Structure 1
């Protein structure tokens, strides 16, 4: 196929990524081939659902209408355009036909250019993009190539021709397929597809083979790729340690073939790499700090390059006038150097840099790189910041401009900046002065179009609704709608690196970022539900100034403070201020290296605030010094879902000094747990109110939650005991088998549990998750009731109307076959019938509950946690007023204290189906109950 196509005159094809590309992101991409006298369009079909498309009606033609074509072409050519038929009649609607004309029209109405329209039955053209345009011949380095298909499809075949001379092997080339992670070509068939049920159609990410075509180069053939998800480049390929061997154009070519809804082959996409003799890979190293330093003068720049061959001398030159005049930079460079730094630059100036090489085969001047020293005032662009103008386009232009310079810092000075959606870019940092406010406008970017429809499930808890599982391939229905879409937000980033939004100013949703799960029922301009949406990014910082102090809370003043030796510093002037964040202040998905810190939520407004930080499938996350006055959902929430089209494990969290009031949980692992979540260290939390739990850990979808520590000191010294006030349940540690993963199936069952008939779904082919190694130390708990101030008073005293629950540790057990009507007709893949929580320890926990339950409640039997029934309230009343544990292997209470404000007829501790337990030095206040302190039900190996 490649041979027959490439014998034709090569042309540069641009793709319009019609699924999931905003106008900003799609800039410069077109769905046509433009020749000297013709405009060629592709005609075919694909599935394309917007959030408004009725379910089952997503099959569309890829051929644009006349109106769409004119709009796109006018933007591309920056001129007035029109389409006429072969007789010269202007066409307004319908679809373009073979033989129609595209015309450019002058302001005087004169046709200045004309192209004949041709139409082919083909897939939409792909985009092939090299990360650089030139490379030094015979100078080995890395070449990065991005491929993006023009339309989505499962089981895609991609052929990429690499020019002769650039050596390709299975061991020197890596690929990253739809953001799954970089692997050697040799290892692609072995790469994990993520966690799935048994009815997922894929068992590998894809296959790859190399075809040597001699002087025509090497063809890399990928097959069996799932391009239904759209996560930026579909393939990111890196050729390592290679170089072109000939001067001039070295052409890469690509085609792809879809499998559904019809088999279509794309035209050839090309990308040209120019081979030159001079140094072509001079790079200015972007600014990189784990924590932003506001006082730092960035008046130095670092550089790297491949050393030239046999040079007699190398100089680094600099220009402060746009490249008109050049001087030698203050930098140490030898002929063998591969890096250096230029010092003594003047602040707030734009510099250009290049190398001058004398002698050897690479003599001459290198490519030019740029650096703006200091912080560029955003108002130097067209940004007004007057609180009236819509600054979106101007700010995005400024960010793109800074990105083209290789990155830098944009400073938001005094003013109010109205924005819809800001598109973050790699290596560009945003700095907010204390008197700067960025506030949301209506009309943020629309939710992306997708291959599947999400209509079968958008939100809700139901033990009998099979719609999330109806299509085991549909990743959109495996989590709530807020997690499913990414672009309807205030700040968006996808596949970007080294980004910061820092300062002491204010970012507010301004009432224009919504919280509801019914967001897609709104009119299009009111569908933004996220402040920050980061998808498959790396190295991100959001916060105020890191003052190297611990933040804590004063209950008398009801404000946070910083600990300064033996003193308290009552100031939030070094904190970033955020309010009205909508459903999520930050939804980070598949993003690694996140640092959020020193942020005050809801000081200016307590409205329109739901989740604060949701980390889905993220790794290497630090959260420090966070104060949330009140929110309606979780404050810190690690999890893992299917929204990327695959699952991804999460590891390495360091969470410290979190204070807040929430309608849900202060810290929550889950509910989305489609993959493993491990190694989380949390120190110093202060729960002001939580209508669910203060500290919640759950696995619902098969993930393995392991190694979670509260107050271990891993993040730093424990400066204070953790505190919980007004929590419905201080701790909620649980397992269910909701099973919202790709390939999972459910079936309805009727069974009897403790005399109660239950009719609900059970997951039949996806394993029960695991919870293991949970260690909790040094917590003082009192006022155990759901007393968040979310709904009003701060805070309403307990009056008996509020909900309350015991600290809960609850595994999950499927019903036995003999209590199921018709018997249990399935066996899970690993054969497990019960999901035990393994090794849960409580050390030095002081618990004072309300009490007041009658002795009849000692007989309570909380139901097993089911599909759609996995919250604290679903477990009804517990038979213990202290700790209740069921389906646990390895349970320890050591040096814990239990008190109650009123007598209580239940047990202090109940263990049910606990295997291997120990109660050591437990103190229970006298007179609370006349029952034994520890009640054992079907337990083994319990020591007291």
Structure 2
């Protein structure tokens, strides 16, 4: 038998062969011979098309933090797009750029030590002709992006790197004087701007100091925003996320600290989920305005140091908000904390005809625990904020105006501690301004816990209101409400306050299983001739000196109280 020992592939020969293999662009073939392996380069067959990596340094990018690398990164993106897609790699380094357009089938990967640094020269930014500004309030906030995409699909921005917008260079501390960047207003660039894109993903990157909103998503569908770290407190309207008319949007595992709305939803946003995120801002977190917002779920979020109302809905004539759920939220050190306003139905449309009344219905709040405070300066903000009286004294507000009614609003397992400090003069207010703009525009609300006006189908189950310091306002005011069910309601009051509850011209109200946490002089003050079929049934109201007080024409037979 032939001796095969000379042809055997030893471990040493195998490792030696592997050591000779280079990781170039070509394919490597290994063949056996008498002494081990030899390798040779094989010409690419094109099997990797659509999956190639385009390193921006290969296109001339310097990454020295000084050289303008806009042309290099744009060239890499254009080439990647032309060759049916792939990954554009931003390696370690600081790459200064102006406006860059992301295109279909391109993944922009920013390496851990890679940074895209927005130029401090405003001349390096330009508007996108593909993004219109004629959409009224929905699109009229500018069309300039540091990175933008329009009418694109299958695009991704990812990696553990950073995009820094140098937003402070776009802020002027003197009115009428241009900032260092030389541009202001709607000419400023967003971090990321997307218009009519499909299959959009942004994940795991850091977005720092935007000159405007950080992530603006307009008329897009199938959007995933995951694991983003957003910091922007250098300019007054540093929004975190700003969605306009977008569908099938999913936001998760993000950490947002910003100066303006943290997660704004304008226009007809539908099929949206936001989960497992944390937010802090000077203004609102979840801000709804106009359009038809429906089928939206917000869950498992932490909201802290938010001095401008965590959940704020403004439904103008012609708009509709429906089937929206907020659950499993922790709010710590916030103002607000929830404000829903239904606008004036008398408003006219542009052609002079009466506008269609807005609709708000089927909104639920479940398992929410909140600590409300008086506002203080926002931590790490580069400028001071001023506060209105309605922000310093805030509560849950459900505010229908004129003939507009909010419908089917529910609160289940909601526990809120309020700061207190309300006076008898504030409690005495009956003429609450009929405006549904910013939550503070009604002034200081006459209730410390909840003020509900023009609500039909209101449910409160296991709701608890407490105060950190004495407050002479009622815990709960119902003003022109219908079909109200309150079960397991617990609240603190004050002996020197007028009453714990105030029901004004309200009908078909059932209060059951109520518990007074502190002694009060009067449990309920019913006001107005339209009060009817109000029942308080069971619970522990023994700490009330008097169960019922009638005022402003309310009739005794309209209220029935059973211990």
TM-score range, shorter chain: 0.7 to 0.9
1:776 aligned residue (362, 365, 369): 365
1:352 aligned residue (28, 46, 65): 46
Alignment of 1:322-333 (within 5 A): none
Shift of the 451–536 alpha-carbon distance from structure 1 to 2, 3 Å rule, reads: closer
Shift of the 491–450 alpha-carbon distance from structure 1 to 2, 3 Å rule, reads: closer
Alignment of 1:290-329 (within 5 A): none
Distance across 1 between alignment mates of 2:234 and 2:399: 34
1:744 aligned residue (323, 326, 350): 350
Distance across 1 between alignment mates of 2:68 and 2:26: 32
TM-superposed CA distance for 1:660, in Å, is: 2.0
1:423 aligned residue (101, 110, 114): 101
Alignment of 1:284-683 (within 5 A): 351-352=45-46, 371=49, 373=51, 375-441=53-119, 442=121, 443-447=123-127, 475=134, 478-479=136-137, 483-484=139-140, 486-511=142-167, 514=170, 527-544=187-204, 576-602=205-231, 606-608=233-235, 610-628=238-256, 630-640=257-267, 649-670=268-289, 673=290, 675-683=291-299
Distance across 2 between alignment mates of 1:918 and 1:532: 45
What secondary structure, in the 3-state scheme, does the structure 2 residue paired with 1:584 have? coil
Shift of the 444–860 alpha-carbon distance from structure 1 to 2, 3 Å rule, reads: farther
Distance across 2 between alignment mates of 1:639 and 1:404: 34
- Could you say which residue in structure 2 is the equivalent of 1:317? none
CA RMSD after TM alignment? 3.3
Shift of the 905–420 alpha-carbon distance from structure 1 to 2, 3 Å rule, reads: same
1:690 maps onto 2:317 in alignment:
no
Shift of the 802–887 alpha-carbon distance from structure 1 to 2, 3 Å rule, reads: closer
Alignment of 1:755-794 (within 5 A): 765-787=354-376, 789=378
- Could you say which residue in structure 1 is the equivalent of 2:3? none
What secondary structure, in the 3-state scheme, does the structure 2 residue paired with 1:856 have? helix
- Could you say which residue in structure 2 is the equivalent of 1:729? 336
Aligned partners of 1:723 and 1:779 also within 8 Å: yes
- Could you say which residue in structure 1 is the equivalent of 2:398? 809
C-alpha distance after superposition, 1:513-548 (max 9, x if no partner) = 7479x999778655323111111111111121xxxx
What secondary structure, in the 3-state scheme, does the structure 2 residue paired with 1:611 have? coil
Distance across 2 between alignment mates of 1:927 and 1:794: 38
Aligned partners of 1:581 and 1:612 also within 8 Å: no
TM-superposed CA distance for 1:656, in Å, is: 0.6
What secondary structure, in the 3-state scheme, does the structure 2 residue paired with 1:895 have? strand
1:835 maps onto 2:404 in alignment:
yes
C-alpha distance after superposition, 1:102-123 (max 9, x if no partner) = xxxxxxxxxxxxxxxxxxxxxx
Distance across 2 between alignment mates of 1:371 and 1:590: 30
Distance across 2 between alignment mates of 1:611 and 1:497: 24
What secondary structure, in the 3-state scheme, does the structure 1 residue paired with 2:78 have? helix
What secondary structure, in the 3-state scheme, does the structure 1 residue paired with 2:46 have? strand
What secondary structure, in the 3-state scheme, does the structure 2 residue paired with 1:490 have? strand
Distance across 2 between alignment mates of 1:768 and 1:653: 24
1:850 maps onto 2:415 in alignment:
no
Alignment of 1:848-887 (within 5 A): 848-861=417-430, 863-866=432-435, 870-887=437-454
TM-superposed CA distance for 1:785, in Å, is: 2.5
Shift of the 936–704 alpha-carbon distance from structure 1 to 2, 3 Å rule, reads: same
Distance across 2 between alignment mates of 1:519 and 1:401: 43
Aligned partners of 2:131 and 2:150 also within 8 Å: no
What secondary structure, in the 3-state scheme, does the structure 2 residue paired with 1:877 have? coil
TM-superposed CA distance for 1:486, in Å, is: 4.6
Distance across 2 between alignment mates of 1:733 and 1:853: 22
C-alpha distance after superposition, 1:266-308 (max 9, x if no partner) = xxxxxxxxxxxxxxxxxxxxxxxxxxxxxxxxxxxxxxxxxxx
Shift of the 373–447 alpha-carbon distance from structure 1 to 2, 3 Å rule, reads: closer
TM-superposed CA distance for 1:668, in Å, is: 1.3
Aligned partners of 1:902 and 1:928 also within 8 Å: no
- Could you say which residue in structure 2 is the equivalent of 1:891? 458
C-alpha distance after superposition, 1:209-233 (max 9, x if no partner) = xxxxxxxxxxxxxxxxxxxxxxxxx
C-alpha distance after superposition, 1:730-778 (max 9, x if no partner) = 101111149999x5257xxxxxxxxxxxxxxxxx522221111111011
Distance across 1 between alignment mates of 2:147 and 2:137: 22
Distance across 2 between alignment mates of 1:514 and 1:739: 40
C-alpha distance after superposition, 1:7-40 (max 9, x if no partner) = xxxxxxxxxxxxxxxxxxxxxxxxxxxxxxxxxx
Shift of the 879–511 alpha-carbon distance from structure 1 to 2, 3 Å rule, reads: closer
1:940 maps onto 2:556 in alignment:
no
C-alpha distance after superposition, 1:772-828 (max 9, x if no partner) = 1111011111133224515759999x9x99723111011121xxxxxxxxxxxxxxx
Alignment of 1:166-315 (within 5 A): none
Shift of the 413–606 alpha-carbon distance from structure 1 to 2, 3 Å rule, reads: same
- Could you say which residue in structure 1 is the equivalent of 2:482? 915
TM-superposed CA distance for 1:376, in Å, is: 3.0
Shift of the 515–730 alpha-carbon distance from structure 1 to 2, 3 Å rule, reads: farther
What secondary structure, in the 3-state scheme, does the structure 2 residue paired with 1:583 have? coil
TM-score, structure 1 normalization: 0.46
TM-superposed CA distance for 1:692, in Å, is: 1.6
Shift of the 781–839 alpha-carbon distance from structure 1 to 2, 3 Å rule, reads: same
Shift of the 637–862 alpha-carbon distance from structure 1 to 2, 3 Å rule, reads: farther
Distance across 1 between alignment mates of 2:197 and 2:458: 39
Shift of the 543–668 alpha-carbon distance from structure 1 to 2, 3 Å rule, reads: same
Distance across 2 between alignment mates of 1:928 and 1:395: 69
Aligned partners of 1:907 and 1:933 also within 8 Å: yes
TM-superposed CA distance for 1:850, in Å, is: 1.4
Aligned partners of 1:728 and 1:805 also within 8 Å: yes
Aligned partners of 1:661 and 1:788 also within 8 Å: no
Shift of the 448–493 alpha-carbon distance from structure 1 to 2, 3 Å rule, reads: closer
Aligned partners of 1:479 and 1:740 also within 8 Å: no
Shift of the 794–926 alpha-carbon distance from structure 1 to 2, 3 Å rule, reads: farther
What secondary structure, in the 3-state scheme, does the structure 2 residue paired with 1:581 have? coil
Distance across 2 between alignment mates of 1:592 and 1:698: 24
TM-superposed CA distance for 1:698, in Å, is: 2.0
What secondary structure, in the 3-state scheme, does the structure 1 residue paired with 2:228 have? strand
TM-superposed CA distance for 1:487, in Å, is: 3.5
TM-superposed CA distance for 1:914, in Å, is: 0.7
Distance across 2 between alignment mates of 1:615 and 1:862: 36
C-alpha distance after superposition, 1:840-877 (max 9, x if no partner) = 111111111111212222222464454xx600110102
Distance across 2 between alignment mates of 1:382 and 1:849: 58
C-alpha distance after superposition, 1:437-462 (max 9, x if no partner) = 0010122433467999x8xxxxxxxx
Q: Which runs of 5+ in 2 are unaligned?
A: 1-24, 28-42, 512-563
TM-score, structure 2 normalization: 0.75
Aligned partners of 2:331 and 2:369 also within 8 Å: yes
Q: Which runs of 5+ in 1 are unaligned?
A: 1-319, 323-348, 354-369, 455-474, 545-575, 641-648, 712-720, 747-763, 814-833
